[in-house]
Amino acid sequence: EQYTQNLNVMAKQGKIDPLIGRESEVERVIQVLCRRRKNNPLLVGEAGVGKTAIAEGLAWRIVKGEVPEILADATVYSLDMGALLAGTKYRGDFEQRLKSVLKSLKDSAHGILFIDEIHTLIGAGAASGGTLDASNLLKPALSNGQLKCIGATTFTEYRGIFEKDAALSRRFQKVDVVEPTVDQTVQILRGLKSRFEEHHSVKYAAAALVAAAELSSRYINDRHLPDKAIDVIDEAGAAQRILPKSKQKKTIGRPEIEEIVAKIARIPPQSVTVDDRSKLQTLDRDIKSVVFGQDPAIEALASAIKMTRAGLGKIDRPIGSFLFSGPTGVGKTEVAKQLAYILGIELLRFDMSEYMERHAVSRLIGAPPGYVGFDQ
């Protein structure tokens, strides 16, 4: 108990949100846990897609009695690596703590250990030059089925760190946790809505939840659903609470969500909207008002974007690939900049004058084998 958190107790106390969706992933996790040997699922997915929520949701379902009989008495413990490492001054302190945790879990018979960011186990507690770390202490218990363990890590860490330890990775069964779609995210927000309404003392309109999912998916590019959509509705509720009583709104609608997304994405508020038909109607005119003398090129560009947004383009193909040809200073780069600004999307610019040497390709695809940085 000193080095772990009991997720079942937290679920009983209402400190864990219910898991919405993810039926196939939870079913796969339960199936792996019911195996005789190597009964250790490994949740692999990008940050913010809900890996930890699946483990917490499993504890929530165990408490509610919504799991098979074989797991009805199970208890999920979340390992606190910080508490495990804190205060270990002498050689052997860390190993003794970890062994005591593993022994307690083996003795309990129904204990399930959840290790978030499981790649941090590799190298944890190892002395300089030594090979005995936390992962090597876990291996014997993982292989013979005495210990049920759920791990969670990202694709990058799985490929770069975890997968390289073949002896450890073969003891886990990989479960891919993909990013949910916008529609699935809306369902998740509807399931969590009551928790945020109770905390912020506001109501969320149905249109606000749809807008949070769609706008966060479109404009917040450095994070993943449903995490970023949940953050948007949470931020919108917090923004109302800090206002004076006279200015607070009881119901959060689409305009409040658009304002929050604009702040998070650092783009002009007027460029954030669920319905971008008005922007598309005046797209070519807006670009022409800044870039002069390039009307045919601008019209071709605007036509391709309008066709795709109308649903006439192919979903699995790019909106368009354009080659702007012309002398310096006629507006080639400016057209791309203005298009990105008007549509409110990110512009990635590669200046190919920096890639003239043969070795410069490594800046795009990474260092070749034998050079520093190949493994990263």
Which pTM value belongs to this model? 0.74
Q: Which two tokens stand for residue 244?
A: 């004076």
Does any domain span residue 215? yes
Residues 76 and 159 in one domain: yes
Does any domain span residue 257? yes
Cβ contacts of residue 258 below 8 Å, gap of 6+?
211, 215, 269, 272, 273, 274
What percentage of the chain carries pLDDT values higher than 90? 11
Q: What is the CA radius of gyration of the chain?
A: 26
User: Lowest-pLDDT range, 196-210, 280-294, 342-356?
Assistant: 342-356
Does any domain span residue 127? yes
CATH of the domain at 172: 3.40.50.300
Measure the CA–CA gap between 373 and 292, rounded to whole angstroms. 45
Residues 247 and 164 in one domain: no
Residues 25 and 108 in one domain: yes
What's the mean pLDDT in 305-327?
76
pLDDT at residue 205, rounded to an integer: 92
**Tokens 């149905």 belong to residue:** 206
What's the mean pLDDT in 87-92?
74
Among 220, 241, 273, the domain-final residue is 273
Mean pLDDT of the chain: 83
Answer whether 360's CB lies under 8 Å from 367's CB: no
Measure the CA–CA gap between 353 and 337, rounded to whole angstroms. 19
Among 238, 273, 308, the domain-final residue is 273
Q: Count other Cβ atoms within 10 Å, centred on residue 217.
A: 19
Residues 99 and 53 in one domain: yes
pLDDT at residue 189, rounded to an integer: 92
Strands (E), 218-328: 251-252
Does any domain span residue 267? yes
Q: For 50-60, write each residue's pLDDT tens digit.
A: 888 999 888 88
Does the structure show a pLDDT above 90 at 71? Answer: no
pLDDT band at 133 (very low <50, low <70, confident <90, very high): low
Residues 199 and 266 in one domain: yes
Measure the CA–CA gap between 308 and 310, rounded to whole angstroms. 5
Q: For 10-24, write each residue's pLDDT tens digit.
A: 888 888 888 888 888
The sign of the dihedral angle between the CA atoms of 78, 82, 86, 90 is positive
Q: Could you list the residue range(s) of the whole structural domain that residue 216 is in? A: 182-273
CATH of the domain at 223: 1.10.8.60
pLDDT at residue 230, rounded to an integer: 93
pLDDT at residue 130, rounded to an integer: 47
Among 273, 299, 327, the domain-final residue is 273
Does any domain span residue 112? yes
Q: Peptide bond before 226: cis, by omega within 30 degrees of 0?
A: yes
Residues 154 and 167 in one domain: yes
> Pick the residue with more confidence: 356 or 176?
176
Does the structure show a pLDDT above 80 at 363? Answer: no
Number of domain units in the chain:
3
Does the structure show a pLDDT above 70 at 325? Answer: yes
> Pick the residue with more confidence: 226 or 273?
226
